[in-house]
Amino acid sequence: MGPFFLFLWYLLLKLSTMKKFVTEMFSSHGKVSSKRVVTLLAFLTMVIGFIVDLFSNNTVSENIYTSMEFIVIAGLGFTASEKFVKYKKDDSEEQA
């Protein structure tokens, strides 16, 4: 029983580390960034569409796939540009 509990403890530590990583990946200054979430969902939709198109007789419309591609490209661009912009503090934050 000892190794089982040790393995269970290891899994719980890994899950908390993964949860922290995902939270930090989606957050910007402590808040969840909707641009990152939408970009990830569009990317996953593209991947699923590509796999469905590749391995089945169903085809994904080229216009839909291209639209998702543009959403992913724009989302990555906007998210990357956030890193180079300096935010000004509000007056209410400075007074506190």
Q: What are the helix (H) ranges across the chain? A: 2-26, 34-55, 62-82, 91-95
pLDDT at site 80: 76
Q: Is residue 94 part of a domain?
A: no
pLDDT at site 29: 66
Predicted confidence (pLDDT) at residue 87 exceeds the cutoff of 70: no
Q: Is residue 78 part of a domain?
A: yes
Residues 77 and 37 in one domain: yes
Give the confidence band of 88 by pLDDT, cuts at 50, 70, 90.
low
Beta bridge partners of 27: 32
Residues 21 and 38 in one domain: no
Residues 15 and 46 in one domain: no
Within the chain, what is the greatest distance between any pair of CA atoms? 63
pTM of the model: 0.58
Residues 22 and 37 in one domain: no
Domain of residue 5, residue span: 1-26
What are 63-72's pLDDT values in tens digits? 888 888 888 8
Residues 74 and 44 in one domain: yes
